[in-house]
Amino acid sequence: MRADPFFVQNTMTSLNQAQSTQQQLTEELATGVSVTSLSSNPTAAAQDGMVTSEISVDDTFSQNEATTYSMMQVTDSTLTDVVSQLQSAISAATSGDNGTLTSANEQSVADTLEGIRSTILGLANTSYQGVSIFAGTQSGVTAFTLDTTTTPATVNYNGDNNTMIISTPSGSTIPTSIPGDQIFGGGTAGATGANVLGVLSNLINDFSTGASGVADTAALSSAVTQVANLQSKFDSGMQQLSTTATYVAGQVTELASTQNTLVGANYAQVSTQLASNETQQSALLDVMASADKSNDLFDYLN
């Protein structure tokens, strides 16, 4: 029988390939990923890269959404408190707007309204995790300051009229704030809005100066309506964000399933392949050992 001059070389090559395969199979079992490089499966690797990118975008949105939604909940709750305070102000002002109260009674109403204004000013300056929620995009400022040196007192808005937004994975945007000047006043000349603090300051001045008979209590009712309308619109944005978040969460689950199909390791199959590979290596090593013991390859072949 003619000896194969490349027997040892070919056997070593087979052993090296078996060892390389063992390393790959062991890595698949450890990571759960069957495609570990572009060369191992270019198509699956490319598709996996796109899926990974989509998942990353969705995850980033979900993280931002959680914080944003919490801030919107604080905003919504604050608006509810503002409406409640305004309703108390309507009750106090209406009871005193009959032209028959004494000066002391009128001042008592003014004091009540002043307390309500102070509470609403605090609500207007609400912050969440360091963000002034009614300052537009000027998140680090105190949204409102009240100047009581004027008659009536005037409110200064220190934010801007920009609305904060969150971008969805699809590229659309959802408003996540209401610029405070639309609610509490103090905006630029000609700006329209509820002007809650301005209305209260006018009423306080009316009752403090004995002009309760002409006090504009109707402006309070109008302010309540405007704030309620803004809150309703804001709540729609919250619902849209919540719906989008639910959809994105489902999309991430689907993408993860797709990714597992593309590159996920089949544990049962890989385990079987690994056992077969170990058997192959053992056989090759036996062959190499037998070859080393023979002084003549022909003797071994015979």
Q: Which of 176, 203, 198 is nearest to 186 (CA)?
A: 198
pLDDT at 66: 94
Q: Is the peptide bond before 169 cis (omega within 30 degrees of 0)?
A: no
Q: Which domains does the chain have, with CATH numbers?
A: 80-168+177-231 (1.20.1330.10)
Q: Which of 165, 167, 164, 174 is nearest to 140 (CA)?
A: 164
Tokens for 194?
């509820």
pLDDT of residue 301: 47
The DSSP call for residue 213 is G
Are the beta carbons of 7 and 291 closer than 8 angstroms? yes
Radius of gyration of the chain measured on its C-alpha atoms: 37
Low-confidence ranges of the chain (pLDDT < 50): 1, 38, 295, 297-298, 300-302
> What's the confidence (pLDDT) of residue 13?
74
